[in-house]
Amino acid sequence: MEHVKGKPILRGELALLLAVFINSFGVVLMLYSGSGISAISSVPYAFSDVFPKITLGTWTYLFQGLLVLSLMILRKRLVIPYLFSFVVGFCFGELLDFHEYWIHILPQTLPLRVVYFVVSYLVISLGIALSNRCKMPIIPTDLFPRELSDITGWAYPRIKISFDVICLLVTALMTGVILGHLDGLGIGTVLAALTMGKAIGLIGDQLDKRVSFTSFLDK
């Protein structure tokens, strides 16, 4: 393993694979905990709830495609890495459906639901922190806050928390108006939306102190 400034260098490709797998698992586990779905998947979840003939995974990469298009409009140019990011997002959506298929084998008790929420919160935070450092195209729901922070110059935690809150408001509006009740939103959803940006920043700081990342795209 290579080292730079005393820190081991990890492959960004492996970090991205790990991030996509654990993030998709974390999203499904948070929903399964009964605390509500994570903010990054709340909008696709609302669409899958209102239009159930299309799966959560499919709605997820449709939503991610919209985010990629929005970023290119803001950049006012075609950004090829953003298109690769959409491909990664497609894989993420398929993994959501995969985890939904088997997650029901896990036992559900009140203490375990609390554990599931804590694990999902930490897993998603770690996955996004890895994504932001892997030097590879990342899923659009992770890419959007990072790139918007770069475009606007605003701090990442501020952008991330604002993005999550907007996603929750859209979800509440859709399910509340169309279904007549709020669905997919819980105390865990709100807690994660208001705090996860900070958690990702803290985990990212610890990663920066301990490891560096490189990939075949790294110049």
Q: One-letter amino acid identity for 177? A: V
CA 213 to chain centre: 20
Residues contacting residue 14 through CB under 8 Å, at least 6 positions apart = none
CA–CA separation, 44 and 66 (whole Å): 11
Structure tokens belonging to residue 161: 């928390």
Residues 85-111: tens digit of each pLDDT: 888 888 888 898 899 999 999 999 999
CA–CA separation, 56 and 44 (whole Å): 6
3-state secondary structure (DSSP) of residue 212: strand
> Which contiguous run of DSSP H or E holds residue 7?
strand 7-11
- Any idea what the Cα angle at residue 23 is, between residues 20 and 26, rounded to 5°? 150
User: What is the mean pLDDT of the segment spanning 5-24?
Assistant: 87
Residues 135-187: tens digit of each pLDDT: 888 888 888 988 999 999 998 888 888 888 888 888 889 888 888 887 777 88
The closest of 46, 80, 79 to 63, measured between CA atoms, is 46
Q: Where are the domains of the chain?
A: 31-210
Contact 161, 193 (CB under 8 A): yes
CA–CA separation, 31 and 42 (whole Å): 10
